[in-house]
Amino acid sequence: MIILLSIFFSYLNVFFKSKDYIAIFFGVVINISVLASIYTCRVEKISQKYLILGSLSFLIGFICWNIDTHFCATLREYRKAFPSISFLFQGHMWWHVLTATGGYFLLKHRQLILWY
């Protein structure tokens, strides 16, 4: 179902070329994935830890992405002012890192559910 929903929203993205639309779609897909994991979650503590870590990682990455979107000009100024730590002000980069990490944790969570 998630794959069909992703294909459908990708098709709609051709018509609605907006960062806000992409952000909403991303949030919907992640929330559906997390809710599906919660629904199928058993009581194994380690599995729940992966679910929580993955969800928090996605949430923090989403916040970084939105901060970068809304305060891009300010963050560019900070990158110029502090070149040695400019990577800290790359919100879009942190979004990629944190969503990849969150994806790993959610896959690990799903793997543990299927094994037990």
- The model scores a pTM over 0.95: no
Does 109 count as an annotated binding residue?
no
Does 92 count as an annotated binding residue?
yes
Dihedral, 20, 104, 102, 47 alpha carbons, nearest 10: 130
DSSP string computed for 59-90: HHHHHHHHHHHHSHHHHHHHHHH-GGGGGGG-
109/92 Cα distance (integer angstroms): 25
Per residue in 19-37, pLDDT (tens digit) is 677 777 777 777 777 776 6
Per residue in 48-87, pLDDT (tens digit) is 888 889 989 999 998 999 899 899 899 899 999 999 998 8
Q: What is the CA radius of gyration of the chain?
A: 17
